[in-house]
């Protein structure tokens, strides 16, 4: 069992702050066997307000321990999103192996006074593995040139030129900066006007290489709000090249890392070597501040490992839940060689009565099917595939509490990219969320839900004749 609790929507295997408001995960860094998760945090309210960096740590990315607040607002402003690095070579001179946070300071006074220069970049360092922090005296390290949205610095070490690269969201494009000491930065280039989705402001970027069959491919993540594929805020990405100065995209097509409504502001951990671990905020700016939780608001997504696939001459990111999820022990039920006509009720055989589980399913040449999760209160969530449109979907129209926002109820769809006719799905269901990883993560969808009671009934529905399910594996995660 994970940290058990009686709050109806408090997740079991996702991180939530004990109280207060959380949005973006930020500053994630791996150090000395510990995964650090910092996050946009307002300790004094369950809606957005003066931002701090909250802090949590984990050894496996699944069991989290919340620590005291890491960064507090100061005279330069509140603490918006950013990143953290381990300064292995002591380039900044703060000390060897200093953990350095690079973040936006948002100054509401300046904003009120009509200035456009209310977001500036600052740094802070910790010499005790993130326990206590000192803000750099020379802050801000990048002054705003007069762009209202100028934020969310993601810094990484670019080894070939022995310098730091900062990827910064600047309104409707990305600006790259470089530095040798984390204190002095020079502008290198820009990217993005005319590329990708521009339904809203660009925020929370990330830049890193992945390898595909021995070849290095650069990935640029750009979160955008609004303008997502199913409304509101969402994470898009580009693949291309980066030469230490400039990012060039392979194509102009918009690609989405997660098609569901509830993954936003996702970026990756730093200092994890070749492995790229991603985590998002499991909500959407359309309704995040009115969801029906009481003492806190928002959770993070399941952490995901990213890799590249190549389909139809383009690179696509595949997201898989981190291995620690698969390693969790829990009562498991495996059913094989099922043939479904109409509906097959798995409730009695599977006994997932708390509605918190992992489901792995393999369907052979399906025309359509849905995994229907429900309860005695009439709540229902359907996660399915429709071959005629070649889409996956999550339908939360009747998922329980939905009336808190007109933008919440709905059936959300995502394209299928995989070409084979066997479908492998992985579903992670927590108390208040459903995450779908189809085709080994080539299509990913995240949806939050607020059922009146646990979704303790499981059915597989289909309209086709003799739907062949090779295997269903269910594992309790409560």
Q: Which residues lie near ligand FRU (CB under 6 A)?
A: 23-24, 40, 51, 80-81, 104, 151-152, 203-204, 265
Closer residue to ligand FRU (CB): 73 or 129: 73
- Judging by beta carbons within 10 Å of its beta carbon (0-12, 13-18, 19+), is residue 440 exposed, middle or buried? middle
- Closest to ligand FRU by CB, 80 or 408: 80
Cβ proximity to ligand FRU: between 45 and 211 the closer is 45
Smallest distance, ligand FRU to C-beta of residue 292, A: 21
| Dist. CA 168–CA 142, nearest whole Å | 11
Minimum CB separation of residue 402 from ligand FRU in Å reads 23
- Least CB distance to ligand FRU at residue 136 (A): 19
Distance between CA atoms of residues 380 and 174, nearest Å: 41
Gap between the Cα atoms of 450 and 282, Å rounded: 13
CA–CA distance, 305 with 276 (Å, rounded to integer): 6
37 vs 250: CA distance, rounded Å = 31
- DSSP bridge partners of 412: 394
- The nearest distance, CB 42 to ligand FRU, in angstroms, is 9
Q: Which is nearer to ligand FRU, 52 or 320 (CB)?
A: 52
Alpha-carbon gap, residue 223 to 206, rounded angstroms: 9
C-beta of 106: minimal distance to ligand FRU in Å? 7
Annotation says 172 is catalytic = no
Q: How far is the CB of 201 from ligand FRU (least distance, A)?
A: 8
Give the nearest distance from C-beta 98 to ligand FRU in angstroms: 23
Q: Which is nearer to ligand FRU, 233 or 462 (CB)?
A: 233
Nearer to ligand FRU, 121 or 413 (CB): 121
Rg (CA), the chain: 22
Query: Which lies closer to ligand FRU via its Cβ, residue 24 or residue 258?
Result: 24
d(CA 208, CA 221) in angstroms, rounded, equals 9
C-alpha dist (Å) from residue 333 to 2, 140, 352: 20, 55, 9
Structure tokens at 297: 């608001």
At residue 245, the 3 state secondary structure works out as: coil
Q: Exposed e or buried b for every residue in 106-143, given b needs 16+ CB within 10 A?
A: bbeebeeeeeeebbbbbbbbbeeebeebebbeebbbbe
- ∠ Cα 137 138 139 (to 5°): 95
Cβ closer to ligand FRU: 49 or 240? 49
Nearest distance from C-beta of residue 169 to ligand FRU, angstroms: 7
Give the chain's length.
Answer: 478
- Both tokens assigned to 403: 């009336």
Q: Is 334 exposed, middle or buried (0-12, 13-18, 19+ CB in 10 A)?
A: exposed
The torsion angle over the Cα atoms of residues 253, 258, 264 and 269, rounded to 10 degrees, is: -100
Residues tagged active-site: 24
């Amino acid at each position: 069992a994970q940290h058990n609790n009686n709050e109806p929507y408090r997740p079991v295997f996702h991180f939530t702050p004990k109280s207060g408001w959380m949005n973006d995960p930020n500053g994630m860094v791996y150090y000395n066997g510990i995964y650090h998760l910092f996050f946009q945090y307002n300790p004094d309210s369950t809606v957005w307000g003066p931002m701090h960096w909250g802090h949590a740590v984990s050894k496996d990315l699944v069991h989290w321990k919340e620590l005291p607040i890491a960064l507090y607002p100061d005279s330069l402003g509140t603490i918006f999103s950013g990143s953290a690095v381990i300064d292995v070579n002591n380039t900044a001179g703060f000390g060897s192996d200093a953990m350095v946070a690079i973040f936006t300071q948002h100054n509401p006074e300046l904003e009120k006074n009509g200035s456009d220069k209310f977001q500036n970049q600052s740094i802070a360092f910790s010499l005790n593995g993130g326990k206590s922090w000192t803000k750099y005296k020379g802050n801000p390290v990048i002054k705003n040139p007069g762009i209202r949205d100028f934020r969310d610095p993601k810094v990484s070490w670019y080894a070939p030129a022995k310098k730091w690269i900062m990827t910064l969201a600047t309104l409707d494009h990305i600006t790259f900066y470089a530095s040798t000491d984390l204190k002095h930065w020079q502008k290198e280039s820009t990217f993005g006007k005319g590329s990708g989705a521009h339904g809203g402001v660009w925020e929370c970027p990330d830049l890193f290489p992945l390898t595909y069959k021995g070849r290095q491919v650069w990935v640029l993540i750009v979160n955008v709000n609004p303008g997502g594929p199913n409304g509101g805020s969402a994470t898009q990405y580009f693949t291309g090249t980066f030469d230490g100065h400039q990012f060039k995209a392979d194509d102009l097509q918009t690609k989405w890392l997660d098609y569901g409504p509830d993954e936003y502001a996702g970026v990756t951990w730093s200092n994890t070597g070749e492995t790229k671990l991603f985590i998002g905020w499991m909500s959407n700016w359309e309704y995040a501040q009115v969801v029906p939780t009481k003492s806190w608001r928002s959770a993070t997504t399941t952490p995901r490992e990213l890799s590249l696939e190549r389909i139809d001459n383009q690179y696509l990111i595949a997201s898989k839940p981190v291995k620690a999820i698969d390693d969790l022990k829990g009562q498991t039920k495996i059913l094989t060689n099922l043939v479904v006509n109409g509906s097959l009720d798995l409730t009695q055989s599977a006994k997932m009565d708390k509605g918190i589980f992992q489901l792995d399913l393999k369907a052979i040449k399906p025309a359509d099917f849905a995994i229907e999760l429900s309860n005695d209160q009439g709540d229902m969530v359907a996660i399915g595939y429709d071959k005629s449109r070649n889409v996956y979907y999550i339908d939360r129209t009747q998922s329980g509490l939905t009336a808190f926002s007109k933008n919440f109820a709905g059936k959300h769809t995502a394209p299928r990219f995989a070409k084979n006719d066997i479908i492998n799905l992985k579903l992670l269901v927590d108390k208040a969320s459903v995450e779908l990883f189809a085709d080994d993560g080539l299509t990913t969808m995240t949806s939050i839900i607020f059922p009146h009671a646990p979704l303790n009934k499981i059915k597989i529905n289909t309209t086709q004749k003799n739907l062949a399910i090779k295997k269903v594996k269910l594992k309790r995660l409560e």
